[in-house]
Chains A and B, each alone.
Chain A
Amino acid sequence: MFRVSSLINPLTSLGRGTIFITQEMGRIGIFFFKSLALIFSRPFQIGKIIQQIYFIGTKSVFVICLTGAFTGMVLGLQGYYTLVKFGSTGFLGAAVALSLIRELGPVLTAIMVTGRAGSAMAAEVGIMRISEEIDALETMDINPLRFLVSPKLAAALISMPLLTALFDVVGILGGYLTGSLLLGISPGVYFMRIETSVIMADVTGGFIKSVVFAAVIVTICCFQGYFTHTRAEGFGAKGVSLSTTSAVVISCVLILITDYVLTSFLL
Chain B
Amino acid sequence: MREPLIQFKNVYKSFGENHVLNGTDLSIYKGEITTIIGKSGGGKSVLLKHIIGLLEQDSGSILFEGRPVSEMKKAERKILKRKCSYMFQGTALFDSLTVYENIALPLKETTSLSDNEINGRVRDKMDQLDLHDIDDKYPSQVSGGMKKRIALARALVTDPEIVLFDEPTTGLDPIRKKAVHEMISDYQQKFGFTGIVVSHDIPDIFHISQRVAMLDDGRILFEGSPVQLAQVSDPAVKEFIQGLYINDENATRVYPEIKVGHG
Contacts and interface: CB of A to CB of B under 8 A. Distances in A.
A142 B81 CA distance: 10
Contacts of A136: 86, 88, 92-94
Nearest to A135: B54
Interface string A125-160: 001100111011011111000010000000000000
Interface of B: 49, 52-54, 78, 81-82, 84-86, 88, 90, 92-96, 105-106, 109-110, 158
Contacts of A142: 105-106, 109-110
B106 A131 contact: no
4 closest residue pairs by CB, A with B: A136-B92, A132-B92, A139-B86, A140-B106
Contacts of A147: 109
B85 A131 contact: no
B86 A141 contact: no
Query: Which label, helix, strand, loop or mixed, suits the secondary structure of the B interface?
Result: mixed
A13 B223 CA distance: 50
B109 A132 contact: no
Contacts of B106: 140-142
Nearest to B83: A141
Contacts of A128: 94
B70 to A, nearest CB: 17
Count chain B CB atoms within 10 A of each CB in A133, A138, A141 and give the residue with the most: A141
Contacts of B53: 138
A133 B82 contact: no
Given A142-B109, A147-B109, A132 B81 contact: no
Interface in A238-264: none
Contacts of B90: 131-132
Given A131-B95, A141-B82, 14 more contacts: A131-B92, A132-B88, A133-B92, A133-B94, A136-B92, A139-B85, A140-B85, A140-B105, A140-B109, A140-B110, A141-B106, A142-B105, A142-B109, A147-B109
